[in-house]
Amino acid sequence: MTHRPDRTLDVRALARVEGEGAMHVRVRAGAVEQVRLEIYEPPRFFEAFLRGRRYTEPPDITARICGICPVAYQMSACAAIEDACGVQVDGAVADLRRLLYCGEWIESHVLHIYLLHAPDFLGYPSAIDMAKDHRDVVERGLALKKVGNEIMEVVGGRAIHPINVRIGGFYRAPSRQQMTALAAKLRVALDQALDTARWVAGFEFPDFHHDHEMLALSEPGRYAIERGSVVTTGGLAFPVTAFEEHVIEEHIEHSTALHAHLAGRGRYLTGPAARYTLNRAWLSPLARQVADDIGLGERCDNPYRSILVRAVEVVYAVEEALRLIDEYEPPAVPYVDVQPRAATGYGATEAPRGTLFHRYALDADGLITSARIVPPTSQNQASIEEDLRRFVADRLHLSDHQLTHDCEQAIRNYDPCISCATHFLDLTVDRS
C-alpha cells in the first residue's frame, strides 16, 4: 500500500496552526506532482475597507486581522501612517512600543513552543495530552505566556487586540508602579525562558535543510523588532520604502492568500529563523550564549529547529523587556501629535512570524485612498510548499496516515498564521 505509484493525501483542516487551511499532495508514477497549501479561509478585504477611513483608524482596524499578533499590525500601521505624515516617534514612547512588542513575542512564541509545536517532538496529539505526562512543563509554559499577556495588558490596555495604541504613541502611559510590578514577574520569567531553551534543546530534530533566501528587518546595534531596514541572506538590502519594488505578490488559484517572491530572485522565507540568521550579532550576550549552548550555530536553515530560535527570542524578549522597564520614565505626553497630509507612507516591523509590511496613501484630509498589507505567512507560502515537495518526495514509502501526520508536523515548523495571510490548512495526498 505504501508503495503505490499514484496517490492523494488530503488534510482538510490542519490542526494547531493559526487560522483555517488545507493541504493537498498529488503523487503520480511515484513522483510528487503537486503540493498545495490551500488557504480557504475567505478573503477578508481589509485593504479595501480601509479606503475612505481616517488616518487614525488603521491601528485599531488592522489589529483585528489577528488575535495572536495584533501588536504587529498596530505597530506596522503606526509606522506607515507616521511615515506618510512626516513624524518620527522616539524616546520613551518608542521604547514603550518595543516593550509592548516584546509582550507579543513572548505570548505568541510561548504559545507555539508549548501548545502547538512541542507535542510534535514528544509524540503527543495535543498539548492537553502532553500536559497529562508533563504537567510541570506545561505549567511553566502557561506562566511564561501569562507574563507576555501582562505586558500587553499594562502597556496595551488588554491582552488581545490592545486598545491603548494610537497613531503617534499611546493614549495613556503606564505608571512607574505598574512597571515595577511587571519587572518582578519578568525576573521569574527569565528563568522560565532559560529553562524553556534547555528543554527544547533536548528534542530530536530531523535532518532537513532548505536553501531559501531569508529576509528580515535589521537595525544596527540591536535585534530588530519594531523598526529597521530590509536585508536578505542573499546580500540584498533596501529601505522599507522600496519593499514593493523588491517583493512581488501574485494571486495563486488554490489560495486566498497571495504568494510573494523577490523580484528577479524567487521564493524566500521570513520569520524567526531568518531574523536569527541575519541578526544573531545583535542579540543580547545572554541570548547569544543561550543560542550557543543549545547548539544553534551561526544560522538556522532546518525548519524543525525553528523552535530553538523561538526559545532564544523569548529569552531575548524577556531580557529586553526588563531593560526597557528598568530605564522607563513615564513620558509627560504619551504620544506625538500627528497631523495628516497628502502623502504615501511605508512601515514594516517584525511580527512573531516575520516581516509585516504596510503602505498607506492619504489625501490632504487624512482619508486613506489606498492601503496594502503584506503579512509574513503569505510571503512564506511558496517556500513552505517547496519544502513540503522535497519533504514528501523523501517519504513516499510511508503510509498515507503517517505521511499526512508528518506533513502536518512539517507545516507547524513555520507557525503559519492563515488568518493573517488570508488574503490559508485541510491535507490531500492524491496518489491515484
Measured from the CB atom, the residue of 134 and 246 that comes closer to another protein is 134
How near is the Cβ of 142 to another protein at its closest, in Å? 5
Alpha-carbon dihedral sign for residues 379, 385, 388, 389: negative
How near is the Cβ of 377 to another protein at its closest, in Å? 13
User: 115-151 burial, b for 16+ CB within 10 Å, e for fewer?
Assistant: bbbbbbbeebeebeebbeebeebbebbeebbbbbbbb
Q: Count the residues of the shown chain that bind another protein, applying the rule CB under 8 A.
A: 31
* Type of residue numbered 386: E
Please name the residues in contact with 170: beta carbons below 8 A apart, sequence gap of 6 or more: 93, 96, 155, 164, 334, 335
Tell me if 423 is assigned to a ligand binding site. yes
Tell me if 373 is assigned to a ligand binding site. yes
Measured from the CB atom, the residue of 129 and 293 that comes closer to another protein is 129
Interface residue with another protein, options 68, 96, 190, 374 (CB under 8 A): 68
Give Rg (Cα) of the chain. 21
Measured from the CB atom, the residue of 382 and 418 that comes closer to another protein is 418
- Closest C-alpha to 347, from 339, 355, 357: 357
Tell me if 417 is assigned to a ligand binding site. yes
Binding mask 27-66 for another protein (x = CB under 8 A): ---------------------------------------x
Assigned C-alpha cell, 140? 511553566
Query: Is residue 67 part of the contact set for another protein (CB under 8 A)?
Result: yes
Interface residue with another protein, options 15, 31, 263, 342 (CB under 8 A): 15
Please name the residues in contact with 384: beta carbons below 8 A apart, sequence gap of 6 or more: 37, 411, 414, 416
- 18 in helix, strand or coil? strand
Distance CA 24, CA 424 (A): 12
Positions in 104-163 near another protein (CB under 8 A) = 111, 115-116, 127-129, 131-132, 135, 138-139, 142, 145-146, 149, 158-160
Query: Is residue 19 part of the contact set for another protein (CB under 8 A)?
Result: yes
Give, in order, the Cα–Cα distances in Å from 76 to each of 82, 92, 259, 322, 323.
10, 18, 20, 23, 23
Query: Is residue 13 part of the contact set for another protein (CB under 8 A)?
Result: yes
Tell me if 384 is assigned to a ligand binding site. no
Interface residue with another protein, options 9, 18, 63, 423 (CB under 8 A): 18
- The separation between CA 423 and the C-alpha centre of its own chain, rounded to angstroms, equals 16
Q: Which stretch binds another protein (CB under 8 A): 9-17, 47-55, 214-222, 256-264?
A: 9-17
Tell me if 420 is assigned to a ligand binding site. yes
Please name the residues in contact with 105: beta carbons below 8 A apart, sequence gap of 6 or more: 148, 225, 313, 314, 317, 352
Tell me if 66 is assigned to a ligand binding site. yes
Q: Which residues contact another protein by CB under 8 A?
A: 13-20, 66-68, 111, 115-116, 127-129, 131-132, 135, 138-139, 142, 145-146, 149, 158-160, 418-419
Annotated binding-site residues for Mg(2+) read: 47, 373, 423
Annotated binding-site residues for Ni(2+) read: 66, 69, 417
